[in-house]
Amino acid sequence: MSDASEVEEDPFAPVQSPRLWRDEVWTAKVIRNEGDEGWAVSMTRHGESEPALVAPWTMGRDKKNPKPLDMAAFNTWVKTASEVLRRHEQQLHAQLHKSAYVSTDHGRVLVTLDIVPDEFEPNATLSAFDADGGELARVRVSPAFKLNGASALAWVESEFARPSSR
C-alpha cells in the first residue's frame, strides 16, 4: 500500500503540504475567500463539523496564489484556534453558571444559579451557601430565572422559598 492511499484511508493522518496541514488534533486548509477576494485559512478540530476559526491568509509573491503553509504558521494557527475555542467555552460557562454574594445578619451568603440547557427539559438550580461553603438551600427554578444581587437577596430574605416563575 502506498503512502498516498494510507493518507486517503486515514482522514486524521498527519499531512504537511502547501495548502493542507494536519496533526493529531487540527486540520488547517488554505481556501479561496468567497467572491475571489484572496485567501483564508480554515482551522478545524478533528471530529467537529464546523471550523473553529476562518481567517485571512497571506498572498504569495505572485499576488495570485496563497503563501504556502509551514510549521511556524500552522503552530500559530493552532494556538489561535485553541484560544478561540477556550474563549467560547468560558463564555458558555459564564452564561450557564452565575453567582451573587449577599450580606445578611448572619453573614455573607453565596447564591449560585446553574443552568442545564437540555434540548427537551432545560432547567436550573438555585443554591445558597454560607461563608464556610455549607449548603443552606437548593431549589429547582426556571432556566429563565435572572440572578442578580436583588433577586439573590429577595430569595435569601424569603427564607429560600421557591421563587415564582415570572
pLDDT attached to residue 166: 53
pLDDT attached to residue 136: 96
Residue-range domain boundaries for the chain: 3-69, 95-157
Residue 87 in grid coordinates? 474563549
Note the pTM of the prediction, 2 decimals: 0.69
Q: How big is the chain by its Cα radius of gyration, in Å?
A: 25
Residue 22 in grid coordinates? 494536519
**Which regions in the chain score pLDDT beneath 50?**
1-7
pLDDT attached to residue 7: 45
Residues 52 and 29: their CA atoms lie apart, in Å, by 12
pLDDT attached to residue 165: 61
pLDDT attached to residue 10: 73
The residues, ordered by sequence, that sit 6+ positions from 160 with a Cβ below 8 Å of its Cβ are 128, 136, 137, 139
User: Do the beta carbons of residue 138 and residue 127 sit within 8 Å?
Assistant: yes
Residue 156 in grid coordinates? 435569601
User: Do the beta carbons of residue 23 and residue 44 sit within 8 Å?
Assistant: no
pLDDT attached to residue 9: 64
